[in-house]
Structure 1
Amino acid sequence: MSGTAVLIIGAGPTGLVLALWLSKLGVSVRIIDKASGPGTTSRALAVQARTLELYNQLDLATTVVERGHQVPAANLWVKGQQAAHLSLEQIGSGQTPYPFIEIFPQDEHERLLIERLQAFDVQVQWQTELLELNQGDQQVNARLRLADGSEQDCSAVYLAGCDGARSAVRKALGIGFPGGTYQQVFFVADVQASGPAINGELHVDLDEADFLAVFPLAGSGRVRLIGTVRDERAQHPEDLRFEDISTRAIEHMKLQVEQVNWFSTYRVHHRVAQQFRRHRAFLLGDAAHVHSPAGGQGMNTGIGDAINLAWKIASVLHGKAGDELLESYEIERKAFAERLVATTDQVFNFVTADGRLANLLRTRLAPVLLSRLTALGKARSFLFRTVSQIGLNYRLMPLSFGSAGHVHGGDRMPWVHDLEGDNFVPLANPCWQVQVYGLASKELVGWCAARHIPLQVFAWSPTHEAAGLARNAVYLLRPDSYVALAEASSSTAALERYFTERSLRPC
């Protein structure tokens, strides 16, 4: 019998990030995966700005940006002609340190995470499969099949199911996964190619015949193709090869495919688990929610699940919180997953809909409308905030309280930087902390010092006012850098009440 604090099932990005954050916070982990090794294909591509912001807590963001590719523009094609050119450069300017669309293929992403995990002396145990699990009052007991075929019992305080859409953990827990499957069959291929669309930008063909998107990858001529299979060949997608798919959209974009490095077909599902937690077991990532790839949200949402759960588990295990803190994981992340599925459904249905009206809207109206919207500052800002996940908030949820200026409890802290400093620099430390813009009272300074809570005081400036912050207000930030409490006064009573009512200890 072997024991650990958290047993993680699944070593994709979600499981690896959970293992990293827990290790950073001093929690012992064991991470297993039934695969023979890490992925070798670039499945998920986009790493959103909010993920990069959070990656600063493990010094990952700079490496991801350096190894990835920033997409400068998106192009819409209709009937073999470029119908719209949408500039994406600095689309999130002033909102985040990462105001761009970042492409970093999942296989390279996973290798980086595994490399960083090894620095904590944690190795992924490949070819290790969950056979069954049962839960007691104090622990979870799992039966595992190891790489050599033998079986082993493993106990853990908590178990995290990060094992994908066909999650063995979810099935063992008996949790439903309602939703459905879109009728369209998609293909995905990583290729070496040439032509006008191989210019480091994103290209999308909106013709009636086929849907095709060309995503740039780092390296000369490397791109990811994602397209639809619409005719009778969709009846048996498992038998398809790249040579079998329609070339109409590829020819419309004047693509010359020189080498196919990887090809696969798949159907898109939209499902959200009925529960994200059952006793001491949790569901994260695709095990908890799957949806269309519209907007590049899937992997980033799973990573968000992991970071949200990691600091909460660590707090409970270190005696700084009661079990009720863990209840907030499902409340916060399930609400977001349900909104995300609904939103991506709408986008997906628009892009893939058949019929004369749908084709007219997609090929005539969409290029004109999107060109005009992306030229407008407010529209660009809204689009970026939505896709980048910096607009995600936990307002009106148990860990969120108060408001000061335009900032509410549950919000992501607005990024502000000027000659006096950058308020995101202290957020690299995953701990409770307080920020004040203006002057901090002696009472507040003493209160924070007595509880070993870092206090950051920024001299008031017009930049802070423009960001919606209130002068001299108190902003209490959670370890995952979301605003827990926004208090307009400098009194410490609200801080004391916040921790007492939630049975939390900051240190």
Structure 2
Amino acid sequence: MAPPTAYDCDVLVVGAGPVGTALGLELALHGVSFRIIDRAEIRNDKSRALVIQPRTLELLNRHGAADAIVRRGRILRGGSVFINHQPAASIDLDDLGTTDTEFPLPLNVSQVETERFLDECLSQYGLSVERPVSATNIVQDDSGVTTTLELPDGKSQTIRSKYVVGCDGAHSVVRHASKRMAFPGAPYPQDFVLCDALLCDSNIAQDRLSLYLSDRGVLGILPMSGELIRVIASRSPGAVKGQDVPTIEQLQAYFTSMTPPGSGVLADPVWLTRFRLHHRCVNQYRDARLFVAGDAAHIHSPAGGQGMNAGIQDAINLGWKLAHALALQSQARAATNPTLAAAADALLDTYDLERRPVGLSLLRGTDRLFAFISAPNPWTIPFRNFVLRHVMPWATRSRGRRKRAFHFMSQFGITYRGRSRIVGEASSGLWGGGVRGGDRLPDGQVWDVCRTGETSLQRLCVGKPHHLLLFSGVGEIEVKGAEELEKAADRIVKACKMEVSVHYITGEGRAVGREEWYADQMGDLHATFGFGRKAGYVLVRPDGYVAHIGPLAKADQLLSFLGDYLVSPLDPPPPGPGSPPTPLILIHDGGGTIFSYYFLGDLGRSVYGIANPHYESGQRWEGGIPEMARHYLQFVKEAVGPEGGGGGGGGGGGGDVILGGWSLGGLIALELARQLESTEDPALGVRVVGIVMVDSVCPLVAEGWKPAVPVVQHAVQWSELTKEETRERVTRCFGEAMRMVGEWTLPAWDGVAVRSRPPPVVLLRAVEAVPVEGEGMTRVDIHRSDHQLGWGNYRKDLITKVIDIPGHHFSIFHTEDNLDTTTEGIKKACEELETINDSRRWK
């Protein structure tokens, strides 16, 4: 074997699709020695991935004018949903007020054009992809990786590199070469048909996604260039029986059956194929000197156009870290300093810490949406159509809800907050701005004083260095002058151990005529970052994310952060506010469904729901709430246990979890928490951080008390379209719930089998009583006047905090204003539970 110091290159990139080429661009930008290979002789001429999200456009703009690729595609301005030929919803993106970016809307463009753009950018460095070259044997050791390459002439070549990155798709040879990487997941049950063809004589909008749902299946249309469109259809077994791929005539027949009259005629297909989809995510993005990115690390459904975009952002996150790690290793050898070598290794670990949670989050989000939309079960399709017909108009009517959904889909919402020690901010109480350490750098316009022209903040923060933004403040309070800002810059730059470019952002009329001084003429950028009248600083990483932020008066905290940044071993963050958000499991209410939870806004964490599995059958839970909780143990284990992969931080082999639920769901959560803490099955490996009870009333009442008004009379508001069987099921579930609550013995917490006290509970309490005619009250209001809803009768130490929310028990999910406050209440409750004892554990 070659000696450890004999390397052919620092990094070998295997696979040169959009992800591999984007990584090549990052490495080239930072001057890293690398080779990029691909087994295909030429680029694929099929369109494949179509959507480039706004965040990806921002990041690509760092390498070349992204306007060039925008001109080759078509801007998507929204979407339209049809159910059984009738319009169900129109989703507009133009009116969302997305002003902090140069690219406010997604782009539909063929992957052929995306790859051509990336190749053009790479050629500016005098570099190109080696084709057709395959990696056939990859073996890593302590000092490097030995790879056997199959060359175009049929000969083999053995090369030595310090690292290998697999950007080679779902069947990655790099991932297979690892002894530690697994790729858990499964295929979706359906087959799909894809067709790129001309659409003639059509009234379908050419700047929108169109989605058609019916009892026959699902059909989606994406506009491409000119009259060319992409059609994706759930496969119709009758139409294509016995064939691998349908004919264009068969697809046209299905198209006609799914779309309203006047939708047009398909012609001249350039690509017609059948395919299946999978959902998978690798268990670790790094194994020593081997890395995976893009489809080699995570594969998604096409819902939301997330996969390629996430892969490109994997590459951009990893590229600068490889460059800095290699530089640290060089310094370590020169100075014989093992600490620097350990720091390099720890820096590379942050790739997995930051990107794998993103991959999992996108996978779960797209999986839920796709599974619901494309459900093949003939029994669930009518339910899907019913729900969407009534929910979509309500959901899309609100600009706020559309904006939250777009924040996720655009990938503007991706953040690395608390995921590694290379992001941070001024400590709690000192920094409360909207932009935090680990967030995307928002964009905005500034006036270049020297060049007397307008430019954007993100255009300033390009290239390989870190960027230090110093804000002077606006107005008359605590505004810093030029001399003070430059002194602060000198002090900070001297503490940096990496290349830094400094930019000064001042209020209107305060910018001096020097290089890198810019005017925030309206004060908008100061407001965006949370500075306002006060001076502040922002340290920006090479990948366009905030490394550290705070008021300039607390720049000493930045200096302390820089003392360790990139140059000391970065241990995994301790349990507490710096760990990934703890997953939340919400358990069904008395009606047996989790339908209400779908209307909640973003809770800032992974959320799972448990519905009553006996909802349809009506089977009794003979053992009551304890039997139900025992049945739900497996659901919790699958979601957040050691093998489920969804657990939060906190150390150990299992997963942390917050349990919760509305009404009956809160009671079940309490019973479930007690059973999870039993020593009978320690293999579950789940720790309960706390419980969120959403207006769950303590069932302990005075003997002989009977509610005057049946709960179900006020719990459900039937619509004219509600099927009789649905009414019967929900009514039956409520009756069963009342029986179980009446028979339930609240769990004891003393004894050797369980801990000595329950986990902390945050209670969301509706402030109003359910209005009833005449005298009396419903059971849910028996303790309404008690701030703890009667739970002090069970244990004085149970409730840690009470958060009042507007409305009564049955209205807290039923109006937009109440939903917003309920969402915010649950979010605050989870955050409160995470901070208790600063360890996410209860003793």
TM-score class, shorter = over 0.9
- Select which of 314, 317, 322 maps to 1:305: 314
Residue 485 of structure 1 aligns with an amino acid whose one-letter code is H
- Among 535, 550, 573, the alignment partner of 1:472 is 535
Query: What is the letter of the counterpart of residue 404 of structure 2?
Result: F
Specify the alignment match of 1:456 in structure 2: 503
Matched, 1:411 2:411: no
- The 2-side partners of 1:189 and 1:200 are apart by 18
2:116 counterpart of 1:53? no
Q: Which amino acid aligns with 1:467?
A: T
Partner of 1:447: 491
When structure 1 is superposed on structure 2, of 385-394 and 467-476 the one drifting more is 467-476
Where is the strand percentage greater, Structure 1 or Structure 2? 1
Q: What are the superposed Cα offsets for residues 149-175 of structure 1, whole Å, 9 maximum, x if unpaired?
A: 111111111111000001111111132
Q: What does residue 424 of structure 2 align with?
A: 401
Among candidates 216, 226, 229, match of residue 232 of structure 2: 226
Is the 2:164–2:289 contact (alpha carbons within 8 Å) kept by the matching residues of 1? yes
User: Which one-letter code corresponds to 1:166 in the other structure?
Assistant: H
Does residue 80 of the first structure (1) align with residue 85 of the second (2)? Answer: yes
Corresponding position: 1:293 with 2:299: no
The one of the two structures with greater contact order (alpha-carbon pairs below 8 A, sep at least 6) is: 1
- CA distance in 1 between partners of 2:485 and 2:207 (Å): 52
Range with greater deviation from structure 2 (135-144 or 77-86): 77-86
1:322 maps onto 2:344 in alignment: yes
Distance 1:389 1:94 in 2: 15
**Counterpart of 2:551?**
488
Q: Structure 1: which amino acid aligns with 2:468?
A: V
Question: Which amino acid in the other structure matches residue 405 of structure 2?
Answer: L
Partner of 1:342: 364
Are positions 1:274 and 2:274 aligned together?
no
Q: Distance in 2 between matches of 1:433 and 1:138?
A: 32
Alignment of 1:138-217 (within 5 A): 138-174=143-179, 175-194=181-200, 195-197=202-204, 199-217=206-224
**Deviation at 1:348?**
0.5
- Secondary structure of residue in 1 paired with 2:94: coil
CA distance in 2: counterparts of 1:362 and 1:191, whole angstroms: 29
**TM-score normalized with structure 1 length:** 0.92
How do 1:34-113 and structure 2 match up within 5 A?
A: 34-89=39-94, 91=96, 93-113=98-118
What's 1:261 paired with?
Answer: 270
Counterpart secondary structure, 2:61: helix
Query: What does the per-residue CA deviation read over 1:41-77, in whole Å, with 9 as the maximum and x for residues that have no partner?
Result: 1110111111111112102412121221102231212
Question: Are the counterparts in 2 of residues 185 and 234 from structure 1 also a CA contact under 8 Å?
Answer: no
Query: Cα deviations across residues 402-432 of structure 1 (Å, max 9, x unaligned)?
Result: 2531222111123233668632221223321
What's the CA shift string for 1:354-407, capped at 9, x where partnerless? 457743454344255434444433223212211010110001122111253122
Q: Distance in 2 between matches of 1:87 and 1:44?
A: 22
- Displacement of 1:138 in angstroms is 2.3
User: What code does the residue aligned with 1:407 have?
Assistant: V
Taking structure 1 as reference, are residues 297 and 486 closer, same or farther at Cα in structure 2, changes over 3 Å only?
same
Distance 2:163 2:307 in 1: 24
Is the Cα–Cα contact under 8 Å of residues 462 and 542 in structure 2 kept in the other structure?
Answer: no
SS at match of 1:113: helix
CA distance in 2 between counterparts of 1:418 and 1:502 reads 29
Q: 2:567 aligns with which of 490, 504, 507?
A: 504
* Preserved CA contact (<8 Å) 1:206 1:362: no
Amino acid at match of 2:190: Q
**Cα pair 2:77 2:207 within 8 Å, conserved:** yes
Conserved? CA contact 1:202–1:216, under 8 Å: yes
3-state SS of paired residue (2:368): helix
Whether contact under 8 Å (2:320, 2:543) holds in the other structure is: yes
Aligned residues: 504
User: What amino acid is aligned across from residue 434 of structure 1 in structure 2?
Assistant: L
Q: Which moved more, 1:172-181 or 1:419-428?
A: 419-428
CA change 1:455–1:357 in 2 (3 A) is: farther
Q: Which amino acid aligns with 2:228?
A: R
Please say if residues 252 and 266 of structure 2, whose CA atoms lie closer than 8 Å, have aligned partners that are also in contact: no
Q: Secondary structure at the match of 1:393?
A: coil
Distance in 2, matches of 1:370 and 1:21, equals 41
1:433 pairs with 2:467:
yes
Secondary structure at the aligned position of 1:58 is classed as: coil
Q: Distance in 1 between matches of 2:241 and 2:324?
A: 50
Name the aligned partner's letter for residue 445 of structure 1. A
> 1:492: Cα distance to partner?
3.8
Give the one of 122, 130, 134 matched to 1:129.
Answer: 134
Residues 68 and 36 of structure 1: CA distance in aligned 2, closer, same or farther (over 3 Å): same
Based on CA coordinates, which of the two structures has the bigger radius of gyration?
A: 2
Identify the match of residue 117 of structure 1 among 119, 122, 130.
122
| Counterpart residue identity of residue 10, structure 2 | A
SS of the residue corresponding to residue 220 of structure 2 reads: strand
11, 29, 44: which one pairs with 1:6? 11
Aligned counterparts of 2:243 and 2:529: Cα–Cα separation in 1: 51
- When residues 407 and 85 of structure 1 are mapped into structure 2, their CA distance, relative to the original with a 3 A threshold, is closer
Contact 1:170–1:283 (CA under 8 A) maintained in structure 2:
yes
Tell me if structure 2 keeps the 8 A contact 1:211–1:249: no
Secondary structure at 2:194 match in 1: strand
Alignment counterpart, residue 422 of structure 1, candidates 442, 456, 471: 456
Further displaced range: 86-95 or 171-180: 86-95
Q: Could you tell me how far apart the structure 2 residues matched to 1:262 and 1:256 are?
A: 16
1:77 is paired with a residue whose SS is strand
1:40, CA displacement in angstroms? 0.4
Closer, same or farther in 2 for the Cα pair 1:318/1:230, shift >3 Å? same
Change (3 A) 1:469 1:417: farther
Correspondence for 2:375: 353
For residue 188 of structure 1, report the CA deviation from its aligned partner: 1.1
Q: How far apart are residue 142 of structure 1 and its match? A: 0.2
Distance in structure 2 (CA, Å) of the matches to 1:492 and 1:377: 38
CA shift for structure 1 position 232: 6.1
- CA-to-aligned-CA distance 1:255-290 (integer Å, 9 cap, x gap): 301111011211111111111111111000000111
Contact kept? 1:39, 1:110, Cα under 8 Å: no
Mapped contact 2:193–2:245 kept (Cα < 8 A) = no
Deviations 1:279-328, CA, capped at 9 Å, x for gaps: 11100000011111110000000000000000001112233762211010
* Cα separation, 2, equivalents of 1:325 and 1:188: 41
Report the secondary structure of 1:159's partner residue. Answer: strand
Kept after mapping to 2: 8 A contact 1:141/1:154:
yes
Retained in 1: the 8 A contact 2:248–2:266? no
Change (3 A) 1:381 1:238: same
Q: Distance in 1 between matches of 2:68 and 2:441?
A: 23
Contact 1:229/1:245 (<8 A) preserved: no
Name whichever of 441-450 and 185-194 sits farther off: 441-450
In 1, are the aligned partners of 2:195 and 2:271 still within 8 Å (CA)?
yes
Matched AA of 1:89: D
Gap regions ≥5 residues in structure 2: 332-342, 449-454, 474-479, 508-521, 569-843
**Contact map agreement 1:198 1:223 (CA 8 A) in 2:** no
In structure 2, distance between residues paired with 1:95 and 1:171: 41
